[in-house]
Chain A
Amino acid sequence: MSLYEVWQAAASSPFQPAVGKDSQLTVGLSLLLVGLILTGLFGLNRSPVSIPLFGIPASLAFAIGAVYAICGFGVYV
């Protein structure tokens, strides 16, 4: 089976990104803001509980937010 036939057969499943190009910057910056707020909350109360409560969610928000923000600014990683 040639790759052209494979390409034709997959016509019904074009790639769709999880977040569209138009909303990447909004999503990215919002997540970075969430990360910043959670970091602030972590800073107010540095206890062993605040790591899973604020630190881990903040890290996740920073991670995903950074990827979408850089895409939103036009550097498609």
Chain B
Amino acid sequence: MGGATPLSPSAGELLAWGLDPSWSRRVRLPGADGRPVDWHVLDTGAGTHGTIVCVHGNPTWGYLWRDLLETLSPAWRVIAVDQTGMGYSERGRPRVLAERIEELVTFCRQEVKGPLILAAHDWGGPVAIGAAGSLEIDAVILGNTAVAKPVDVKVPPLIAAARSAADLTCRRSPLFVDGTARMTHKEHRAALRAPYRTADRRAAVRDFVLDIPVKAQDHSYDALGVCADVLGKLRCPILLLWGGNDPVFHDRFLRDLTRRAPHADVQRFHDAGHLVMLDAPVGAVVSDWLQVNASSRASPEPESTFRSVLAGVLERSSDQGAVYIGPEGTLRWSELADRSAVAADVLRTDGCTKGDRVSLLIPPSPELLVAACAVWRCGGVPVVADASAGIRTLRRLVRANAPRYVIGTRATLSVARLLRFAPGARRASFGAMPGTLNLARQSGTGSKEVVVLGSFDTAAIVHTSGATGPAKAVRYTHGQLAAQREATTRMFSPDAGDAFTTSFGAFMLLAPLLEMACVRPDFDIDKPSTLGFEQLSAATNRAHVTTAWLSPASAKAVIASAQGRTVAIPLVMLAGAPVSTSILHEIGVITGGDIRTPYGMTECLPVTDGRRGETNGSLGGTGVGSPLPGCEVRISALGLTGQGFVEAQEWGEILLAAPWLFDGYEHAVDVDVHSTVVIDSQRFHRTGDVGYLEGGRLYVLGRSVHVIDGAEGPLASVAIEEPVAAALNRDVAAVGIGPHGTQVVCLVLSGEGPLRLAPPDLRDRARKAAGVSLAAVLEGALPTDRRHESKIDRIELGSSVNAYLAGR
């Protein structure tokens, strides 16, 4: 039986499985035992950029990489190998991990010239990573895999079961092969089973399972240790494509991998299973990722002039001035330095090291700032949560971030524990609490030890609210934060002793970054409308407040409760959503200040600076001013996702690049895979907003998902709404209903109660004011988001309008 060479799959079979028959070929190479082995590979042939060698796991074969083979050629040459004894490669010679690694190295040296990328899945992971130690490689792409069993994890039960009766489950019966094939969609099953039809052909499946080392005595234990070591030392870009629904390699294995390779990018597919390469559109993701990682990343400040936020805090360690003033108390710069040193000691002693994700479930307070600085002192990465997104979203994001530590209050830690936000994470709080680290330990003053931070090190992860799409975890490097500080302070050049106040919870973390004191008004942080005039004026009395960042809901609340009173604030920034001219005017009267409406988002803040109404664009929309120096704005044609950049004719999606543009989405959860586009080797962020540039100024026309896709071409909702809102003097929302490409426009006038048809006189005035043909004019309450209480959820509104008019 030794050396039996199965036939390659027939052209008919390959076609039926969606593979190009010309890809299938055989390769002879010197085996690890000195005798030649015969491999079957799927090889797309010549690629312009380089070669991607794909290594499957057990018990799959090259078919697993179908999407990559299809999507990436001809830009890349993709070779999916069948490992010895598996797929359509030679049978009958048992292999251990070290031998498989050796053979893969031989294969790559023999077959590949030029840039090389290794892709691997399942137990192909250790083989590829092991080989990476002996090869010059440019990038690594990994699916659900492991290089070590995390200490807090048992052997996956499915593997344990397979091992205990390996011959029966894996060779004599097709149980293991079938079980694996059933983890993905039906259409893939025949192809996955095909090379493993008889017991003879399944021998290597059994041998592979038996070779998985679980204890030190196992044959390949040391070899796997070497692989883990290699992964820790890899400096090339790494992409982890992770199926979130995998009973074998679950999220704790993901966390183990990201701990070993903190610079890895993670694209997590929430609903994909173990065979993520077949369950998810990995080809498109890899294509985008390679585009970005093959080109230079937008580089922030040069290293020499770089100064991290932490360095700024440490410099002021004897400053008695306040950095935070809130209803819970005041925090001085010196206290921030001292208390964070103590907390950092506790974390460091517990093992917190560079790159560790630390989830901060702390409402804005002195402790939030102390915790963030303590994490930075250890080289860790604070993950700043946004509770306003709702508990389910919060849980999903925290879980996906797989933090090593969770720092919270008694209440938030209990919730996190009860709902299993972060299974296996260490819990910490300021104060004694059983089973948690006490970050406020009174012994000693804390060592002054800090980890040196570089501009490319990850600095923070901030959750978006999900007000305008799925909530995401946005990652920044220290260099990007430093660039953000420069851009922001340039907008209002603060003097020493100046303070700011805000209705945005996350902005309070900017205090140490901007080196300005933050005054937190006494209001419910999750309900911006509870920040009224009383609260604002009380806050300004507590420090020399020169700047206020307000959400539109807060601005409205301040106006409603001012009753003719005034409070002097030299600069008011209204951000978060477009606001009407009357609000701008009234806030101007109340504060006597300069009122600005900068544009930006969690991924890139700030983008522009300007005052609304300064100029009017020819296509309508909200004028948000000119892009800040260093920030580049491009307008991309709509509906071309995945096709690169095409300049829009009139208006289109707003793309942004800036030194302070975020680094990427962390463990992207259900995120549109095309959020990045590279133009002239510069990385641009697709904002999902639409607008246009005119005379060097940017005008925003709303969200791209709110664009009405009519038969005569796309219509921006904002451009339809504005003239009607002005004519009727009330809030309106335009939504498109019906299938894309033939949507019709319906207008909803804000009012109390459920949706209904607008009365004839209002309807006729609205029709007259709108520049386009309207199918229906309705009246009713407009749904708004939770964080800003002002962004109209046009998607929800659209589906209600659709249901109402359909008669459902």
User: Does A associate with B in a complex?
Assistant: no
Residues of chain B touching chain A, judged by Cβ–Cβ distance below 8 Å, are none
